[in-house]
């Protein structure tokens, strides 16, 4: 029997997505034989824009690199500038930064859990988990004034302090998450259908994760005991006991499949709650910003010369910013690297040998800002016939597979 492969392009652009991209699959029947990635459809040149602005203006640009990681990028950027200009951050500000970053992690991981459930066809779980996410968004809004794009970070500190009343509010939110955690664990880890769809699907071996420089939950689910908060504790993480979570904590083994990625993210949810509690218990009093006068700060940055890197463990993995200041108003170089940039290439080993119906969950499993697959064309190379598959069709295929294999 001759082996004809078909090529399926998926993507590229969906306007609501952080990272639209094109996937080109070569399939034989249902089997994925090869994957070609083509990102960059929505390259906005943010670094280029940043290099024409002063560092304080860049913070707000950095916040908008990603809608979900709107604390991670300014966190890393501020650290890079502080390292380059040798600005010290007051300890209370370091604690506030960590609380905001961890609240963001809770909301990002629950968002992901909802998306994953949706891709598998469990829309009720999707609704329930996104309902649970509202609580953390509410407290973020009370703390910062915004549900996303918090505007909390400033070079040398943070812009708003927490009052006692707000701290009580955070504690109440944390209690809520401790309450529902058991339910989330029940739904995601004990449900037979989710296990059937995610176990041994989209496997990334430890070697591949290391060679392809994977970061974040994707790397940890493959057994790489790697977390910037643990390896190179910055800000208040230096005082907190943070340990990288690998799936063997729960199951005793590492498979590197989608199921393991669910485990890592769920456990990290609980870990974030504990980190925030530690922060609130030990939060010192004092200043929240090194230099409250903006004009003075800008003048200081204008005279600064040096290079700095800032690293932060974003919900999706290590986020690193490099800044070079050269006695000018604008930084000479600003380079930002988001976690998905490194995790991009891990899709190839994950997707090879999988079925078309598994594409959505495998792609979703590294938590990119996924669903760029708003249109898919299947081109029959023999007769040149063209069929268009929409994102809905792909989603339907995935849901059908869940129904088919569920007892």
Q: Which residues contact other proteins by CB under 8 A?
A: 38-40, 43, 45, 47-48, 51-52, 83, 89, 91, 94, 210-214, 224-226, 228, 230-239, 244, 282, 284, 307, 309, 311, 318, 320, 322, 324, 332-333, 335, 337, 341-342, 344-345
| Least Å from the CB of residue 167 to other proteins | 18
| Least Å from the CB of residue 322 to other proteins | 5
d(CA 336, CA 319): 8
Bridge-partner residues for 234, per DSSP? Answer: none
Of the candidates 12, 13, 31, 14, the one whose C-alpha atom is nearest the C-alpha of residue 22 is: 12
d(CA 38, CA 261): 24
Of the candidates 308, 304, 301, the one whose C-alpha atom is nearest the C-alpha of residue 324 is: 308
| Least Å from the CB of residue 101 to other proteins | 14
Q: Which is nearer to other proteins, 158 or 399 (by Cβ)? A: 158
| Least Å from the CB of residue 401 to other proteins | 31
Q: Which is nearer to other proteins, 280 or 309 (by Cβ)? A: 309
CA atoms within 13 A on the CB side of 367: 29
Q: What is the DSSP string of 69-106?
A: -TTHHHHHHHHHHHHHHT-PPPHHHHHHHHHHHHHHHH
| Least Å from the CB of residue 306 to other proteins | 10
Q: Which is nearer to other proteins, 221 or 361 (by Cβ)? A: 221
- Are 21 and 41 in contact by the 8 Å Cβ rule? The answer is yes
129-133 long-range Cβ contacts below 8 angstroms, 24+ apart: 129/184, 132/177, 132/180, 132/184, 133/107
d(CA 343, CA 289): 34
Instruction: Tell the residue number behind the tokens 């249109």, with chain if given.
Output: 375
Which CA distances in Å does 169 have to 135, 148, 400? Answer: 11, 18, 42
d(CA 361, CA 371): 10
Cα R_g (the chain), whole angstroms: 22
| Least Å from the CB of residue 370 to other proteins | 18
Q: Which is nearer to other proteins, 111 or 366 (by Cβ)? A: 366
CA 76 to chain centre: 14
- Are 264 and 316 in contact by the 8 Å Cβ rule? The answer is no
d(CA 51, CA 334): 6
| Least Å from the CB of residue 78 to other proteins | 13
83-97 burial by CB neighbour count: b if 16+ within 10 A, else e? bbbebebbbbbbbbb
Q: Which is nearer to other proteins, 107 or 220 (by Cβ)? A: 220
| Least Å from the CB of residue 219 to other proteins | 9
| Least Å from the CB of residue 213 to other proteins | 3
């Amino acid at each position: 029997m001759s082996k004809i492969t078909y090529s399926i392009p998926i993507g590229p652009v969906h306007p609501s997505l952080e990272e639209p991209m094109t996937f080109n699959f070569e399939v034989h029947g249902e089997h994925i034989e090869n994957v070609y990635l083509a990102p960059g459809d929505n390259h906005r040149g943010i670094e280029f824009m940043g290099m024409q602005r002063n560092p304080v203006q860049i913070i707000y640009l950095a916040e908008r690199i990603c809608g979900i990681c709107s604390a991670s990028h300014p966190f890393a950027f501020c650290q890079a500038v502080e390292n380059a200009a040798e600005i010290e951050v007051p300890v209370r500000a370091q604690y506030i930064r960590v609380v905001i970053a961890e609240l963001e992690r809770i909301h990002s991981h629950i968002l992901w859990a909802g998306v994953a459930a949706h891709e598998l066809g469990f829309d009720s779980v999707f609704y329930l988990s996104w309902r649970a996410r509202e609580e953390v968004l509410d407290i973020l809004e009370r703390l910062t004034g915004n549900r996303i794009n918090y505007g909390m970070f400033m070079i040398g500190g943070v812009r708003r302090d927490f009052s006692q009343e707000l701290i009580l509010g955070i504690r109440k939110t944390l209690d809520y998450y401790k309450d529902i955690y058991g339910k989330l664990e029940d739904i995601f880890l004990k449900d037979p259908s989710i296990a059937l769809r995610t176990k041994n699907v989209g496997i990334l071996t430890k070697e591949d994760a290391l060679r392809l420089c994977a970061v974040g939950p994707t790397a940890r689910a493959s057994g790489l005991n790697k977390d910037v908060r643990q390896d190179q504790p910055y800000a208040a993480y230096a005082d907190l006991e943070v340990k990288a979570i690998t799936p063997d904590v729960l199951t005793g083994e590492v498979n590197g499949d989608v199921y393991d990625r669910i485990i890592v993210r769920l456990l990290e949810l609980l870990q974030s709650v504990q980190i925030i509690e530690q922060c609130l218990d030990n939060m010192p009093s004092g200043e929240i910003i090194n230099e409250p006068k903006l004009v003075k700060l800008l003048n200081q940055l204008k005279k600064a010369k040096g290079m700095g890197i800032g690293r932060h463990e974003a919900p999706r993995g290590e986020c690193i910013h490099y800044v070079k200041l050269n006695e000018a108003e604008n930084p000479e170089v600003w380079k930002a690297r988001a976690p998905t940039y490194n995790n991009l290439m891990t899709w190839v080993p994950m997707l090879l040998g999988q079925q078309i119906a598994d594409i959505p969950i495998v792609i979703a499993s590294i938590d990119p800002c996924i669903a760029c697959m708003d249109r898919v064309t299947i081109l029959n190379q023999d007769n040149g016939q063209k069929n268009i598959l929409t994102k809905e069709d792909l989603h339907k295929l995935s849901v059908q597979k869940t129904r088919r294999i569920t007892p």
